[in-house]
Amino acid sequence: MPLPPPPVRPVFVNLGPRSYTVQVGRELLAGVGTEISKKLAGLKKAAVVTDSNVGPLYAEKVLRSLHAAGIDATLVTVPAGEGSKSLTWLESICNEMAKAGLDRKSFVVALGGGVIGDLAGFAASVYQRGIPYVQIPTTVLSQVDSSVGGKTGVNLPDAKNMVGTFHQPSHVFADVDTLDSLPKREWNEGFAEIIKHAAIKDLSMFDAIEQIAAGKGDLTALIRRNIAIKASVVESDEFERTGTRAILNFGHTLGHAIESAAGYGTLLHGEAISIGLSAAAWLSTMSSDLTSRELERLRLALAAFHLPLKVPEGVSDEDILRRMKMDKKFVHGEIRFVLLKKLGEAFVSNDVHEGHIKQALEEVRKG
């Protein structure tokens, strides 16, 4: 009988007084209460924020663990989907926290995917001017990306993530067992962010991605590898002041605009990012040194997870460009666009203009 793989080492996110640990592995939920009691000693009241899909699967286990550790935890549930990532639902969560008697000696647990992490983290950052929160991401996308780095926020009708804060979590539990319950489409969308990390920072990770696509490989190790990449970039530019962290936006400038223009919920976040990655990689062959062979490898990796490469019918260039201009990555009206020099090496360009982006959109309309 083969031996089980060794435990995966935690990832430490080194941000001075805002540092925290990301635990990566299986069967982590049962120990949430004990671990939080160590990290947030003396805090005995909490709100567990989740959604209508994740709550029935995992909320009871998390609540039981918290209660066993002597923590009075209240469950707050919002409807599943991008539509809940709004100022309206932020207000609702804060109201529920107030009704439950949470004060400055309380904390929030974000149990769910990226929408819940962003929404609950934002609620924690503004409730009573800021209380701690813990991330328990339950999707591939949130484990490898949004749960690490401290970006929280909500959408406006025309612009994604436009209202928010930087608020680092106190601890992150990336329990890979929770990924077993994901619908295939949601499982697949997370690999857009994994492929992005490989494209900007780690060429050799394409081999591991291709193994997973073939039904082989070590998923837990791949999740950790991605978290470590995200952590290293965040450590170098926590508040996006130096431009280093901007490379994480590869594929996102157009991806966010396409997601918004299509109507939130039409495309999953990772699906929109996949189209953005394809467009940005094509632009990298036009405006940088990425080869057509490297472009093909990236697109094949996306296609292996059934991720779209084509702008949906009915979404106009004009609407995409209008929404793109609202993006936070515009500085004094100029876009800072992330390109690839080669697979595994990204940079921020100030030389991409609207005409180039129209060409890229024309390219990704071909599929």
Asked about 306 being catalytic, the answer comes back as: no
Compute the C-alpha angle 174/197/14, nearest 5°: 55
Active-site residue, from 151, 160, 171, 196: 151
Among the listed residues 82, 189, 193, 271, the single catalytic one is 193
Q: List the catalytic residue out of 197, 225, 249, 297.
A: 249
Is residue 256 annotated as a catalytic residue, yes or no?
A: yes
Phi and psi, residue 348, nearest 5°: -100, 125
Choice among 35, 210, 235, 240 that is catalytic: 240
Does 245 qualify as catalytic in the annotation? yes
Which of 129, 184, 216, 366 is an active site residue? 129
At 281, the amino acid letter reads A
Written as one letter, the residue type at 131 is I
Contact 175, 26 (CB under 8 A): yes
φ/ψ bin of 310: left (φ > 0), alpha (ψ from -120 to 50), beta (otherwise): beta
- What DSSP line would sit under 211-247, residue for residue? HHHTT-S-HHHHHHHHHHHHHHHHHH-TTS-SSSGGG
**Amino acid in the structure at residue 366:** K
| Active-site hit among 171, 224, 230, 299 | 230
Cα angle at 81 between 79 and 87, to 5 degrees?
75
Cα separation, 315 vs 308, in Å, equals 14
What is the four-CA torsion angle of 214, 218, 221, 225, rounded to 10 degrees? -10
Catalytic-residue membership of 193: yes
Tokens of 268: 């999953």
Q: Which is catalytic among the residues 196, 197, 269, 323? A: 269
Instruction: Please say if 249 is a catalytic residue.
Output: yes
Residue 269 bears catalytic tag: yes
Q: CB of 7 within 8 A of CB of 25?
A: yes
Q: Among residues 167, 201, 252, 323, which one is catalytic?
A: 252
Going by their DSSP bridges, the two strands 106-112 and 133-137 should be labelled as parallel
Which residues partner with 46 through β-bridges?
73, 107
Nearest-angstrom CA–CA distance, 340 and 282: 10
Q: For the chain, how far is it from start to end, CA to CA, in angstroms?
A: 46
- Annotated catalytic sites, by residue? 129, 151, 193, 230, 240, 245, 249, 252, 256, 269
